[in-house]
Amino acid sequence: MATETQQQAPLTHDAEPIVRDQLFIGGEWVDPLGDGTLEVIDSTTEKVMGRVPEGTAADVDRAVAAARTAFEVWSQVPPFERAQACLGIGMKLAERGEEIAALVSREVGMPIELSAQIQAGLPTMDFMCMPDAVDATVWEEQVGNSLVVREPVGVVGCITPWNYPLHQIAAKVAPALAAGCTVVVKPSEVTPLNAFVLAEIVESLGLPPGVFNLVPGLGPVVGEAMAAHPGIDMISFTGSTRAGKRVGEVASATVKRVALELGGKSPNVILDDADLMKAVPDGLGKCFLNSGQTCSALTRMLVPRERLAEAEQIAAAALPHFAVGDPLEPGHTLGPLVSEAQRERVRGYIRKGIEEGAKVVAGGEEPPEGLAEGYFVQPTVFSEVTPGMTIAQEEIFGPVLVLMPYDDEDDAVRIANDTIYGLAGGVWSGDEERARRVARRIRTGQVEVNGAAFNPLAPFGGYKQSGHGRELGKFGLEEFLETKAIQL
């Protein structure tokens, strides 16, 4: 691995493939026990951009053993010192921000300017905010004759997705380490390269061996082994609701704690007194971020029935401003989807919407003009979508927005809550108090009012089949703590 340390990811699709041939276990780069490899595809060129080892259940055993040994040491380190280690990781991530942004832009397809802010910026913040989270945590308190103390849950298995790959790792690893836990990380097999940058940083800072372990691999192999492992005390999983159900099922055999951040079909309720010229373009942006590959994307725009035609016109006029193209070339708002499988999935949903009678306002299943190569999909807007349609209920995970008419405020709330999901939402109104009142009625873990910005320190997580548990800031740290009463 020595030749790969500090390897830069240049702003080109023509770089030599990045070859990672070892796992990071017990503070060392070690050879995998299996001989399989996973190819990483550049989403713009459809060509191989890297390779990583395909981990096995035996590799998980090694990583868990290292994490268990490290836990005895790391859990006794004072919280302030653990938080300082996280701060150090965050500072090193910031130093390599340009490399991370370019790497994730190639893996996932997010345009480079956004990737620098989000794909590189959020992981940095996830780690750097840990000192404040530790300060805000009540580590012990007196309750009658009991001393109530908060202790780390133990060894945590972190299973993460491909859409915000390093952020989703950091949102688990940072609070887990700050809490005193040790971790075994399985990054998505689709976008694993960025995780090796984090492993290099952990190695460079000299944390106790085994505090952080990296085992890439396939979900049915490495993920299943982690969920079932009796040496893992908690699983923190982000991904599809289908996969999350399987993780919970397997993990239940050892009664380990499970935190799940799953899918979404988030409503954006535009009330009858809202400014559509502001609300509709903002809603398009919130739906199309990362080419729609965002679990909390506001994919259902609920509009008063009498203003539906107006909303359609505004959406159609705004769509040309969402430029689609090579994510490494400045000026593009949308890049490709992450993979061929994802592109075909999204095209299938567009066809389904047409078959079920939804009105196509703009876009469609054909690739954007001049972009036959790469996993590109046209940003697409449907209207006259009813709650019973497939595109109103299922998570598409692509740049597809549905406009849904409603009759009155109660009808809007009913439609907003009429899915199995409950991750995020939005409300627009000329009266902020009215917007807040409606926001309280929406059964989701987050609701933004009048286009308010995402807050990376606020709790993030879902109701219903969007999962359970919360991530980010002090709320994320609390997920990795046990509560003990010591009677005095």
Residue 344: inside a domain, yes or no?
A: yes
- pLDDT value at residue 5: 42
- 14 and 104 in a single domain? The answer is yes
Bridge partners, 383 (sequence order) = 359
Cα gap 241→397, rounded to integer Å: 13
2 has a pLDDT exceeding 90: no
96 has a pLDDT exceeding 70: yes
Backbone Cα Rg of the chain: 23
Residue 440: inside a domain, yes or no?
A: yes
Q: What is the DSSP string of 427-447?
A: EE-SSHHHHHHHHHHS-SS--
Averaged pLDDT of the chain: 96
Residue 461: inside a domain, yes or no?
A: no
- 257 and 367 in a single domain? The answer is no
End-to-end CA distance of the chain: 52
- pLDDT value at residue 11: 78
The domain that holds 65 is classified in CATH as 3.40.605.10
- pLDDT value at residue 9: 44
- 228 and 326 in a single domain? The answer is no
Q: b or e along 18-50 (b: 16 or more beta carbons within 10 Å of the residue's beta carbon)?
A: bebebbbbbbebbebeeeeebebbbbbbeeebb
What amino acid occupies position 257? R
155 has a pLDDT exceeding 50: yes
- 49 and 94 in a single domain? The answer is yes
3 has a pLDDT exceeding 60: no
Cα gap 262→204, rounded to integer Å: 33
1 has a pLDDT exceeding 50: no
- 65 and 179 in a single domain? The answer is yes
428 has a pLDDT exceeding 50: yes
Task: Give the tens place of pLDDT for each residue, 60-85.
Answer: 999 999 999 999 999 999 999 999 99
Task: Give the tens place of pLDDT for each residue, 213-256.
Answer: 999 999 999 999 999 999 999 999 999 999 999 999 999 999 99
- pLDDT value at residue 223: 98
Q: Which of 199, 398, 431 has the alpha carbon at shortest distance from 297?
A: 398
- 429 and 474 in a single domain? The answer is no
- 305 and 249 in a single domain? The answer is no
Task: Give the tens place of pLDDT for each residue, 294-337.
Answer: 999 999 999 999 999 999 999 999 999 999 999 999 999 999 99
- 394 and 257 in a single domain? The answer is no
Q: What is the DSSP string of 77-96?
A: S-HHHHHHHHHHHHHHHHHT
Question: Token pair for residue 370?
Answer: 């001049």
- 247 and 278 in a single domain? The answer is no
Residue 249: inside a domain, yes or no?
A: yes
Task: State which residues form the domain around 398.
Answer: 267-456
The H helix count followed by the E strand count for the chain is 17, 21
**Cβ pair 381, 361 in contact under 8 A:** yes
Task: Give the tens place of pLDDT for each residue, 173-205.
Answer: 999 999 999 999 999 999 999 999 999 999 999
Question: Token pair for residue 213?
Answer: 């372990």
- 87 and 62 in a single domain? The answer is yes
**Cβ pair 144, 150 in contact under 8 A:** no
162 has a pLDDT exceeding 50: yes
Confirm whether 158 is a catalytic residue. no
Confirm whether 394 is a catalytic residue. no
Q: Which of 54, 287, 295, 312 is catalytic?
A: 295
How far is residue 459 from each of residues 216, 299, 455, 472, 478, measured CA to CA in Å?
A: 28, 21, 9, 6, 11
How far is residue 34 from each of residues 2, 133, 216, 220, 428, measured CA to CA in Å?
A: 21, 39, 12, 15, 53
The domain that holds 336 is classified in CATH as 3.40.309.10
Cα gap 396→293, rounded to integer Å: 9
7 has a pLDDT exceeding 80: no
What are the backbone angles phi and psi of residue 479, rounded to the nearest 5°? Answer: -65, -25
Task: Give the tens place of pLDDT for each residue, 271-303.
Answer: 999 999 999 999 999 999 999 999 999 999 999
Q: Which of 107, 200, 224, 261 is catalytic?
A: 261
- 283 and 341 in a single domain? The answer is yes
Q: DSSP class of residue 207?
A: P
Q: What is the pTM of this model?
A: 0.95
Q: Which of 110, 116, 112 has the alpha carbon at shortest distance from 336?
A: 110
Percentage of the chain lying above the pLDDT 90 cut? 97
6 has a pLDDT exceeding 90: no
- pLDDT value at residue 372: 87
**For the chain, what is the domain count?**
2
What amino acid occupies position 39? E
- pLDDT value at residue 311: 98
Cα gap 183→170, rounded to integer Å: 11
- 208 and 354 in a single domain? The answer is no
